[in-house]
């Protein structure tokens, strides 16, 4: 059978034929992401590391450097100032000093908050400062939230492994979990690369990404299983190629719709919603890619390692 006839039989694109190239690309991306995360470190928000976040809006123009210089002179340690939304609105973050006990820590945080309030109202009295929100998270609560957050991700992956094994077959489960780990690691690395903080809403976005990526992978797996039943005499490479070609347009339309929706939120929403939308945009791109070039080809790898490989 000629190459043209083979392509016509399983579809237009030879996805399996590019497994080596795409697999090397995925491995390189994951390793590079892990190295980058290890050296750069994760920038946690106050949800996870504890501290105080103050949102202030000015009626008259004020630069971020003016706010940073003013608050930095108070000696509160590591202080971060970030522009928020449109106009003269800023987020001021600091951890303050830690006391020997929770009571002392809370007292010092309250003193720091009062000091920042008074200082802003004094230094920017002509600018019409308006303290719109003050959020405080204790160090112990932040550490517990961080631990519970990562445990949530771990248990999520574990349950998915069990679910896919029951829903399909043992040979499908490793590919699904590897696909999800691939998506989360790369998305997290890109998120850190652009200088964004990881907090509870972003962790929720990561779990949403896991759910979306799994849904896309399940759709692919369903089609592969149906094709495998219809073409029992064919090899797994043929089956995967035909299955992906059959649902490729549907996948592009679905992923494209989600991507455009998230992109609009990223551009127009601002604040935390914009950060969540950014994570979803990146996750959708890699989730769609990994369902085709990570999860599906992994079935072939597991089958080759099994005791009774399928006849090719």
The boundaries of the domain holding residue 240 are 3-44+142-305
133 and 147 in a single domain? The answer is no
pLDDT digits 0-9 by tens, 92-135: 777 655 544 455 556 676 777 777 777 777 777 777 777 777 77
234 and 284 in one domain? yes
State the pLDDT confidence band at 237, using cuts at 50, 70 and 90.
confident
Residues 161 and 189 grouped into a single domain: yes
Within this chain, do residues 156 and 7 fall inside the same structural domain, yes or no?
Answer: yes
Residues 153 and 260 in one domain: yes
pLDDT confidence tier of residue 184, bands split at 50, 70 and 90: confident
> CA torsion sign, 194 to 89 to 149 to 220?
negative
Tokens of 145: 């939230």
- Give tens-digit pLDDT for 294-310: 887 777 777 777 644 45
Please report the pLDDT score of residue 1 as a whole number.
42
Instruction: Tell me which of 121, 137, 153 is where a domain ends.
Output: 137
Closest CA to 189 of 283, 259, 266, 270: 283
In eight-state DSSP terms, residue 89 is E
> Residue 176 phi/psi, 5° resolution?
-65, -45
Mean pLDDT of the chain: 76
CA distances from 257 to 268, 281, 285, 295 (A): 17, 11, 12, 22
Answer whether residue 244 shows pLDDT above 50. Answer: yes
β-pairing, 79-83 vs 51-58, is unpaired
**Helix (H, G, I), strand (E, B), or coil: what is residue 83?**
strand
Tell me the C-alpha distance between 113 and 74, whole Å.
11
8 Å CB contact between 54 and 134: yes
Check residue 101 and give its pLDDT: 45
Q: Summarize the confidence of residues 186-200 as an average pLDDT.
A: 82
Phi, psi of 62 (to 5 degrees): -140, 135
Q: Among 108, 137, 166, identify where a domain stops.
A: 137
Residues 210 and 79 in one domain: no
């Amino acid at each position: 059978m000629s190459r043209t006839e083979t392509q016509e039989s399983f579809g237009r694109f030879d996805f399996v034929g590019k497994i080596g190239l795409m697999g090397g690309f995925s491995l390189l991306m994951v390793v590079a992401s892990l190295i980058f995360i290890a050296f750069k470190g994760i920038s946690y928000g106050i949800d996870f590391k504890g501290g105080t976040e103050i949102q202030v809006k000015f009626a008259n123009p004020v630069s971020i450097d003016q706010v940073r210089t003013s608050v930095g002179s108070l000696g509160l340690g590591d202080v971060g100032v970030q522009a928020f939304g449109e106009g003269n609105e800023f987020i001021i973050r600091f951890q303050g000093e830690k006391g020997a006990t929770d009571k002392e820590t809370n007292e010092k945080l309250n003193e720091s908050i009062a000091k920042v309030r008074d200082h802003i109202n004094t230094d920017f009295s002509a600018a019409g400062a308006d303290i719109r929100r003050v959020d405080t998270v204790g160090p112990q609560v932040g550490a517990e939230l961080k631990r519970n957050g990562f445990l949530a991700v771990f248990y999520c992956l574990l349950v998915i492994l069990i679910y896919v094994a029951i829903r399909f077959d043992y040979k499908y489960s490793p590919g699904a979990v590897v696909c999800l780990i691939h998506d989360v690691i790369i998305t997290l690395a890109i998120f850190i690369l652009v200088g964004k903080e990881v907090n509870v809403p972003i962790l929720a976005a990561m779990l949403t990404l896991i759910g979306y990526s799994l849904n896309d992978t399940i759709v692919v797996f369903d089609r592969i299983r149906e094709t495998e039943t219809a073409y029992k005499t064919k090899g797994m490479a043929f089956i995967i190629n035909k299955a992906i070609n059959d649902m490729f347009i549907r996948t592009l339309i679905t992923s494209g719709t989600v991507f455009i929706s998230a992109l609009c939120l990223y551009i127009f929403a601002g604040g935390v919603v914009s950060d969540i939308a950014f994570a979803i945009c990146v996750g959708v791109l890699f989730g769609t890619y990994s369902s085709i070039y990570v999860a599906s080809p992994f079935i072939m790898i597991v089958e080759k390692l099994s005791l009774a490989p399928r006849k090719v």
